[in-house]
């Protein structure tokens, strides 16, 4: 075989290899290897994307009215919390509704990730020479506002610590009035249950789920 022929074959082989490499897709997500049209696969992908704790059990309940759903969620949460050998934590409503210290931790984490400009604005609002003006502004707003959300927020947060940068009337920040555990009409609720013991192995998780049921 002549030298030009060998060179041509080498160039062709290199082109084929490069073409094959461009079609390769490296994906560390095992679930993407399963059929994407299966509802179970979609649910697992959404769970990994939107829920932080992979070992939490998500319970859902529906009732004819918001009051009955809230009562059922509260009763079920209390019942599960009594099972100390099964559950470590059960959430059926925003944690700060039952433990105000949880709100302080959430607000602190949010401000920790704020921009330097926002931190500087907060420092100026809390400066000794500006504190009185900040309080007077909050009092004026409380006296004139007709919004229950604004009144409830400022009554407990006159310095606006829970109003994050870019928010308006406490929105787009730490939502004190909203309930992410319920649907807009309140008739559908979710509960998050954390096991008391490690359930990393699927057989342990299945056994724990059966006990909870």
| Each residue's pLDDT expressed in tens, for the chain with a length of 213 residues | 666 666 666 666 666 676 665 665 655 566 677 777 888 778 777 777 766 666 788 899 999 999 999 999 999 999 999 999 999 989 888 877 777 677 777 778 778 888 888 888 888 888 999 989 988 988 888 888 877 777 777 777 888 887 766 544 344 445 555 577 899 899 999 999 999 888 777 888 888 889 998
- CA–CA separation, 162 vs 111, rounded Å? 9
Q: What pLDDT, on the 0 to 100 scale, is given for residue 25?
A: 60
- CA–CA separation, 161 vs 170, rounded Å? 10
For the entire predicted model, the pTM comes to 0.55
- CA–CA separation, 209 vs 211, rounded Å? 5
Expressed in angstroms, the distance from the first to the final Cα of the chain is 75
Q: Are 31 and 41 in contact (CB under 8 A)?
A: yes
Q: What pLDDT, on the 0 to 100 scale, is given for residue 155?
A: 78
Q: Are 199 and 55 in contact (CB under 8 A)?
A: yes
Three-state secondary structure call for residue 156: helix
Q: What pLDDT, on the 0 to 100 scale, is given for residue 68?
A: 95
């Amino acid at each position: 075989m002549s030298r030009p022929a060998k060179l041509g074959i080498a160039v062709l082989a290199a082109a084929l290899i490069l073409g094959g490499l461009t079609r390769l897709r490296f994906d560390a997500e095992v679930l993407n290897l399963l059929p994407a049209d299966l509802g179970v696969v979609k649910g697992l992908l959404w769970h990994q994307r939107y829920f932080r704790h992979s070992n939490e059990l998500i319970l859902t309940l529906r009732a004819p009215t918001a009051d009955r759903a809230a009562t059922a969620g509260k009763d079920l949460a209390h019942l599960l919390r009594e099972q100390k050998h099964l559950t470590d934590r059960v959430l059926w409503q925003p944690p700060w509704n039952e433990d105000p210290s949880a709100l302080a931790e959430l607000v602190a984490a949010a401000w920790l990730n704020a921009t330097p400009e926002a931190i500087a604005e907060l420092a100026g609002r809390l400066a000794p020479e500006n504190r009185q003006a900040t309080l007077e502004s909050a009092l004026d707003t409380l006296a004139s506002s007709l919004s229950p959300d604004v009144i409830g927020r400022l009554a407990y947060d006159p310095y606006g610590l829970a109003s994050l940068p870019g928010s308006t009337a406490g929105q787009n920040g730490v939502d004190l009035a909203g309930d992410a555990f319920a649907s807009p009409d309140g008739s559908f609720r979710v509960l998050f249950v954390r096991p008391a013991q490690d359930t990393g192995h699927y057989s342990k998780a299945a056994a724990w789920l059966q006990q909870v049921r």
